[in-house]
Structure 1
């Protein structure tokens, strides 16, 4: 048996063990198998070495250094696992090719852009059908709560508790569940959609809250396609590192706007951020800070607060 075939077996065993532990490894699995194919193509024999890892990391069409760094990071836990079977395996040190955590600047929507998005969704085809109401309500919900698009699309009818003014998000990212309190205007919008949906689809048997005009649960690509159509109609130009504004940027916008409101209302951010982290379904508060962006309004308010702080210090120590 060749070493490359043995390496394939080790990768498959590793992925099976990790998935049994609850890790999905959707991108890491294909990358590890691509590494095995690369080793085969190179005719590599013997334990995995740093030289082989570096050659694979650099064998990419991307010129961005972070791409090679991420490839190395995918191999680090696997090579540690592999050492118990092949003691000569070399484990790459942390950050061997630099950081893997570059944060692309998102598009932060203005209030006018969110309003325009919902108005444009209202005029989607077919006019007078369920589809316009579905996307106006869906995108409005994302803007109003900062939910992930996947969470909103998985909502079942029983999860939308409008009498209590709550949403129940079940088994979201990291297998976490939570309740999301809703503003009265959001409750009213969901009630209007619920009424329209049940009028259009009185016999629908799908349990999902958001339905297509055919009575089926919406898929992520349905929402992405509708959003792309609206984005083109509105002629939006991205303000950030992505090629175009994204649905996920509504989540960034919600979190950044929360911080802006706190500063304007003199609320202690360090206390409020923990509650926001729970609200949006983050495991760590640092994950929520990751979403905060230096929008001009936020920087202006923060600057004013710093000026007041500096004056107070100066008055205390003339």
Structure 2
């Protein structure tokens, strides 16, 4: 996509904002596209003040142009408003979170301990001529133990997995955010066995840590196919109606299992959520709070837990 061109009275501010985001490692094109739309809207309607009416009228216009779309694009104009308010316009309007109220997340499939145990037992017994025969436990085990997104697991390179130090680097993930995660001794053992098998079969130059039989990087479709194959091989049931299990369910399980453990131990969950958000690569605590109400064991305590959630959190370090 070509570089955005801005012509409204906010042009220079928009250019500086995009340069700032790129310096922070955010190179996606969607931000520039939506802000170009705002810029064009301002030119067409003669808008010269970054006030509530201007911003909210544009949001209404965009929502009407994209009925049913997820409201993630609103974060761009909200973030731009914050930067304007901080740097040169203390009266700049910051779009409120209430505009997200129409967005309802789907209820995730909540894996049980029995389902997880039977799934990995079936994965260990999988019969196939592809690398999935020895990489199934490692691939889904890493998702389960670290709460990784499916795409993050697929994109891991050999140099991103340090089995000696017990660390993995998740680079340029959602929102172009990166993080380094520790892995347990158990998963180190699983990954080491998988890595040895793959090096024996394909040498040291495979394109990703996890690969297909070609060998090429694993595709999203293949991950879903293998998950379903293992699930069915384990003899696990599928609901006739409602949410179905899928690979991302391991990420959901990682989040709510940790929250439930903290609740059971009497740990202050509010204090721990910033660390969970950082570990999972969430842009804000909003995404992490979502997992609180997915856990069936403490729905009654949700109101008390989230009360005054805007209080002081412990600082999360960046390494």
Does structure 1 conserve the Cα–Cα contact (< 8 Å) formed by 2:82 and 2:94? no
Question: Following TM superposition, by how much is the alpha carbon of 1:138 offset from its aligned partner in structure 2, in angstroms?
Answer: 0.9
- Residue 77 (structure 2) aligns with: 75
Question: Following TM superposition, by how much is the alpha carbon of 1:183 offset from its aligned partner in structure 2, in angstroms?
Answer: 4.2
- Residue 223 (structure 2) aligns with: 226
138-147 or 22-31, which deviates more? 22-31
Query: How many pairs align?
Result: 283
- Matching residue within 109, 112, 115 for 1:110: 112
Question: Following TM superposition, by how much is the alpha carbon of 1:256 offset from its aligned partner in structure 2, in angstroms?
Answer: 1.8
RMSD: 4.9
SS at match of 2:209: coil
9-18 or 252-261, which deviates more? 9-18
Deviations 1:281-308 (A, max 9, x none): 5689957555334533x33998xxxxxx
Taking structure 1 as reference, are residues 246 and 56 closer, same or farther at Cα in structure 2, changes over 3 Å only?
farther
- Residue 309 (structure 1) aligns with: none
Question: Following TM superposition, by how much is the alpha carbon of 1:276 offset from its aligned partner in structure 2, in angstroms?
Answer: 6.4
- Matching residue within 58, 63, 66 for 1:56: 58
TM-score, normalised on structure 1? 0.63
Deviations 1:185-243 (A, max 9, x none): x33432332233123213x513632122223344xxx1354316644985845998xx7
Question: Following TM superposition, by how much is the alpha carbon of 1:124 offset from its aligned partner in structure 2, in angstroms?
Answer: 8.0
The 5 Å alignment of 1:1-318 reads: 5-6=7-8, 9-10=11-12, 11-24=14-27, 26-39=29-42, 43-48=44-49, 50-59=52-61, 60-61=63-64, 67=71, 73-78=75-80, 91-95=92-96, 98-99=99-100, 104=105, 105-115=107-117, 117-118=119-120, 127-162=128-163, 166-169=166-169, 171=171, 177-184=179-186, 186-202=187-203, 204-206=204-206, 208-218=208-218, 222-227=219-224, 230-231=227-228, 234=232, 236-237=238-239, 245-261=245-261, 267-270=265-268, 273=272, 277=276, 280=279, 290-296=290-296, 298-299=297-298
Does structure 1 conserve the Cα–Cα contact (< 8 Å) formed by 2:130 and 2:213? yes
Taking structure 1 as reference, are residues 51 and 244 closer, same or farther at Cα in structure 2, changes over 3 Å only?
farther
SS at match of 1:134: helix
115-124 or 249-258, which deviates more? 115-124
Does structure 1 conserve the Cα–Cα contact (< 8 Å) formed by 2:81 and 2:95? no
**C-alpha distance in structure 2 between counterparts of 1:124 and 1:7, whole Å:** 61
SS at match of 1:169: strand
**C-alpha distance in structure 2 between counterparts of 1:47 and 1:30, whole Å:** 20
Which runs of no fewer than 5 residues in structure 1 stay unpaired? 303-318
Does structure 2 conserve the Cα–Cα contact (< 8 Å) formed by 1:130 and 1:197? yes
Question: Following TM superposition, by how much is the alpha carbon of 1:253 offset from its aligned partner in structure 2, in angstroms?
Answer: 0.5
Does structure 2 conserve the Cα–Cα contact (< 8 Å) formed by 1:256 and 1:292? yes
**C-alpha distance in structure 2 between counterparts of 1:163 and 1:155, whole Å:** 16
193-202 or 71-80, which deviates more? 71-80
**C-alpha distance in structure 2 between counterparts of 1:268 and 1:56, whole Å:** 46
TM-score, normalised on structure 2? 0.63
Taking structure 1 as reference, are residues 18 and 139 closer, same or farther at Cα in structure 2, changes over 3 Å only?
same
Which runs of no fewer than 5 residues in structure 2 stay unpaired? 302-319
Deviations 1:13-70 (A, max 9, x none): 4312332244445532221122334456xx3235256545334322335556984xx6
Question: Following TM superposition, by how much is the alpha carbon of 1:182 offset from its aligned partner in structure 2, in angstroms?
Answer: 1.4
Taking structure 1 as reference, are residues 96 and 236 closer, same or farther at Cα in structure 2, changes over 3 Å only?
same
**C-alpha distance in structure 2 between counterparts of 1:223 and 1:73, whole Å:** 27
